[in-house]
Chains A and B, each alone.
Chain A
Amino acid sequence: MKLSTWIAILLLVLESTAGDILISRAMKQTGDLQELKRQSGLLHVVGRVLSNRVFLLGIVFMALGFFTLLAALSWADVSIVAPACSSLTFLTNALAAKFFLKERVDRRRWAAALCVAAGVGLLAS
């Protein structure tokens, strides 16, 4: 595999992980959306989510990931890039959630992340 393909995969995984971690943090800051909707209505919930800067930064990273994927697919092999990114992201998300979101990633969750990463890799290849 070419060095450029490895760089594209690394970049994509980092951008996707940053997007997921930031959006997850923003949602925890916002609170239970179902409860908020019940109390104040849908428009209030939408406004509260869209006014969260961490959420908007997460969306920026997700958009960057999308455009990196489009660029990578124009010169790298889709059968390598897509499964590698989707499966590696499960593992980097587990690692990042442990350190940045302080989630309790126990053996059960590591096992789940490993199984799903391997499964998605096989399914997408």
Chain B
Amino acid sequence: MTPRKYLVLCSVMVLAALGDTSLSHGMKQVGSISAEHWTRIFAALLSPWVVGGIVLLIGFMASYLTALSWADLTYVLPATALGNIITAGLARALLHEDVTPKRWLGILLITVGVGFVAGGPELTPDTAPEGANCQPVAAQEER
């Protein structure tokens, strides 16, 4: 694992947490959307928090796809689960939501789970496409 790959995994966690928190904050400002108030969905798209949340989640998707291009799904999902903890922290700090003992136990279990995969290899060697990541693009396209 190179520092650049760690940076991609961190981006997955941080961008998902910031995106979800931003969307949540924006939607609480807009108000609940129901059948009678369906036009509020357009108002939501004018909220800078909602727009910011969407931009952050696009960034999350790009980082997630990048991570999946060089690591196993069973490595990426647990490794980036720390994002749930960041979301809980942001919800407590910015949205003033409660973090109950049950949630603290959840945070502890996620941290232990991330610890299990952190020391292992990120990719099952024989599942990588032949020559991927090490050949020029032109050579890959010929295949």
The answer on a CB contact under 8 Å between A109 and B117 is yes
Q: Which residues of B contact A101 (CB under 8 A)?
A: 72-73, 127
Q: Which residues of B contact A114 (CB under 8 A)?
A: 113
- Does B37 have its Cβ within 8 Å of any Cβ on chain A? no
Q: Which residues of B contact A119 (CB under 8 A)?
A: 81, 84, 105-113
Q: Which residues of B contact A35 (CB under 8 A)?
A: 133
B-side residues, CB < 8 A to A, are 4, 8, 65-66, 68-70, 72-75, 77-78, 81, 84-85, 88, 102-103, 105-114, 116-117, 119-120, 124, 126-129, 132-133, 136-137, 140
Q: Residue A118 contacts which of B4, B77, B109 (CB distance < 8 angstroms)? A: B109
| Chain A interfacial residues counted at CB < 8 A | 45
Interface of B is mostly: helix
Q: Which residue of B lies closest to A109 (CB)?
A: B74
User: A39 CA to B135 CA in the complex, in Å?
Assistant: 10
- Does A24 have its Cβ within 8 Å of any Cβ on chain B? yes
Q: Which residues of A contact B105 (CB under 8 A)?
A: 119, 122
Expressed in whole angstroms, the minimum distance between the Cβ of A63 and any Cβ of chain B is 13
Residue among B108, B110, B119, B129 with the most chain A CB within 10 A?
A: B110
User: A39 CA to B72 CA in the complex, in Å?
Assistant: 23
The answer on a CB contact under 8 Å between B73 and A122 is no
The answer on a CB contact under 8 Å between B69 and A32 is yes
Q: Which residues of B contact A122 (CB under 8 A)?
A: 102-103, 105-106, 109
Q: Which residues of B contact A33 (CB under 8 A)?
A: 65-66, 69-70
User: A9 CA to B117 CA in the complex, in Å?
Assistant: 27
